[in-house]
A and B are shown apart, each in its own frame.
Chain A
Amino acid sequence: MVLLDNDVFLTQLTIMFHDARNSGSVRMSMKRYDGRTKPHPKDKQKKIPEPTEYLCLLRATTNQKKISTVVHPKDVNKFQLAYCSLLRGNMDGLKKMKKAKAKPKATQ
């Protein structure tokens, strides 16, 4: 699992979507993350300092590749915009709903 910057993550994810077009699938997961890099101590009595802020950990995998990124609260808005447009652009294989028939134009 490679930890990437947000921007690099998004470009890599686009490539992964492209790779999975003909076969396979893309899996993405999202989890709350408190920034801890050490394991929790076995001794439950020991107080762990409360995290001051939470982060969001994202992972994406295909058959060949695994990537991950951490989103900081200050970057959430920016990242969301990019992430959502990426999803919308790449998850385009789904069925479209039938459009309601266009109203006939009023004759002039």
Chain B
Amino acid sequence: MYLASWDEFERAAQNLYLQDPMKVTYSMKYTHKSNLLKIKLTDNAICLQYKTENQPEVKKVEKFINNLMRHMASKDHS
């Protein structure tokens, strides 16, 4: 199911990730031809999805990826 807004997705994603960081996979799919970016975050039980066609959203996505990657590659156990 796709979430309606980016904020909603971001919040839900954060909660899901922090529950069990080892389980969560983040993925995205970019289709140039149909101008579409689809984003997904799942822990194999719950699946959060978001899609966008707007360029400015990419910036928010980048910020999110940066945060996520920084946490993934850290010593943090939570």
Decide if A11 is an interface residue (CB 8 Å cutoff): no
Q: Could you tell me the distance between the alpha carbons of A86 and B74 in the complex, rounded to whole angstroms?
A: 23
B62 contact set on A, CB distance < 8 A: 84, 87-88
Contact A96 B72 (CB under 8 A): no
Q: Could you tell me the distance between the alpha carbons of A73 and B54 in the complex, rounded to whole angstroms?
A: 31
Chain B contact residues, majority secondary structure: mixed
B58 contact set on A, CB distance < 8 A: 87-88, 91, 94
B73 contact set on A, CB distance < 8 A: 32, 53-56, 71-73, 76
- The residue that A28 contacts in the complex, of B28, B33, B36, B56, with Cβ under 8 A, is B28
A97 contact set on B, CB distance < 8 A: 54-56
Residue among A23, A24, A50, A73 with the most chain B CB within 10 A? Answer: A73
**Interface set, chain A 1-52, CB cutoff 8 A to B:** 17, 20-34, 50, 52
Decide if A105 is an interface residue (CB 8 Å cutoff): no
- The residue that B22 contacts in the complex, of A22, A24, A32, A84, with Cβ under 8 A, is A32
Contact B32 A54 (CB under 8 A): no
A21 contact set on B, CB distance < 8 A: 32-33
Contact A30 B65 (CB under 8 A): yes
B33 contact set on A, CB distance < 8 A: 21-25, 93
Contact A29 B32 (CB under 8 A): no
Decide if B11 is an interface residue (CB 8 Å cutoff): no
From B35, which residue of chain A is reached at the shortest CB distance?
Answer: A93
Q: Could you tell me the distance between the alpha carbons of A97 and B66 in the complex, rounded to whole angstroms?
A: 23
- Give B residues with C-beta under 8 Å from A: 21-22, 24-33, 35-37, 52-58, 62, 65-66, 68-70, 72-77
Known: A93-B35, A94-B53. 7 other contacts (CB 8 A): A17-B30, A25-B30, A27-B27, A32-B72, A56-B72, A80-B70, A88-B62
